[in-house]
């Protein structure tokens, strides 16, 4: 396996936060040492769950100086890109299946002055990136089927992480390789060893309440 570039970034997913006090939760994870804030947007159509929209992202923006890593699990996605960019997203990640022309979607995200990411579901092959890799800033490997937090890591995705790491290294570009789903102190070392350099962790970050966040993040980073 190829070692991942360092440092590894930790991006807590607010899907596992206390939704009654999201602003406080975002401030708490920044204080605890998080690198990014991962925001999962689900539409009840592309994935079987419904979460938040641009208004919530805009409301959270004053609560943190960290990059907002916004993962759009919505279809059709193109109509919402401008709204999430205006709301304060720094990175906008989309799925190839969520629009008819993924290259056009990526180009539009870049035109908004944002970093563009592409997310691969467990059954979506790494080859989907063949004609996109030179245009994107981030690849997000889903190590669970998207839609819900608290799922178990799908180990077959380690091979995909390795394959995408090789693709990224061949470009010579600074493209982040992010993994989301079932990340904890046990699976984090596996994802990092396979080539990941950003870990999305919801349950593993937010368990135990705010007093535990710093230790939770430290354990993930230490992996």
> Is 180 known to be catalytic?
yes
Establish whether 149 is an annotated binding residue.
yes
**Do the Cβ atoms of 129 and 139 come closer than 8 Å?**
yes
Nearest to 159 by CA among 5, 2, 14: 2
**Of how many residues is the chain composed?**
223
**Do the Cβ atoms of 204 and 184 come closer than 8 Å?**
yes
Establish whether 180 is an annotated binding residue.
yes
Establish whether 113 is an annotated binding residue.
no
Active-site choice (43, 69, 180, 197): 180
Alpha-carbon gap, residue 117 to 94, rounded angstroms: 6
Establish whether 222 is an annotated binding residue.
no
> Is 40 known to be catalytic?
yes
Q: What are phi and psi of 68, to 5 degrees?
A: -95, 115
Pairing of β 68-73 and β 91-94? parallel
Residue 62 DSSP symbol? G
For residue 163, count CB atoms less than 10 angstroms from its CB and return exposed for 0-12, middle for 13-18, buried for 19 or more.
middle
Q: List the structure tokens of 77.
A: 């996605």
**Do the Cβ atoms of 215 and 204 come closer than 8 Å?**
no
Establish whether 148 is an annotated binding residue.
yes
Active-site choice (40, 43, 184, 197): 40
Establish whether 156 is an annotated binding residue.
no
Establish whether 197 is an annotated binding residue.
no
Establish whether 186 is an annotated binding residue.
no
Alpha-carbon gap, residue 139 to 171, rounded angstroms: 13
- What's the Rg (C-alpha) of the chain? 16
Establish whether 33 is an annotated binding residue.
no
Establish whether 40 is an annotated binding residue.
yes
Establish whether 187 is an annotated binding residue.
no
Binding site for substrate, residues? 13, 71, 147-150, 180-182, 202-203
What amino acid positions are annotated as catalytic residues? 40, 180
Binding site for a divalent metal cation, residues? 38, 40, 71, 180
Binding site, residues? 13, 38, 40, 71, 147-150, 180-182, 202-203
């Amino acid at each position: 396996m190829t070692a991942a570039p360092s440092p590894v970034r930790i991006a807590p997913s607010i899907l596992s936060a206390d939704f009654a006090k999201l602003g406080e939760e975002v401030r708490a994870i920044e204080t605890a040492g998080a690198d990014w804030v991962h925001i999962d947007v689900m539409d009840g159509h592309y994935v079987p769950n419904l979460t938040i929209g641009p208004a919530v992202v805009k409301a959270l923006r004053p609560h943190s100086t960290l990059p907002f890593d916004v993962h759009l699990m919505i279809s059709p996605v193109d109509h919402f890109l401008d709204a999430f960019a205006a709301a304060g997203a720094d990175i906008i990640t989309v799925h190839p299946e969520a629009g008819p022309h993924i290259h056009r979607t990526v180009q539009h995200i870049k035109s908004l002055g944002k970093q563009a990411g592409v997310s691969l579901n467990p059954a979506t092959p790494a080859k989907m990136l063949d004609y996109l890799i030179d245009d994107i800033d981030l690849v997000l490997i889903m190590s669970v089927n998207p839609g819900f937090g608290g799922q178990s890591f799908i180990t077959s995705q380690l091979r995909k992480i390795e394959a995408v790491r090789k693709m990224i290294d061949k470009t010579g570009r600074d493209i982040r390789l992010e993994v989301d789903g079932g990340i904890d102190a046990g699976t984090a070392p596996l994802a990092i060893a396979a080539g990941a350099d950003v870990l999305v962790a919801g349950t593993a970050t937010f368990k135990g309440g705010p007093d535990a966040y710093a230790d939770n993040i430290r354990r993930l980073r230490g992996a």
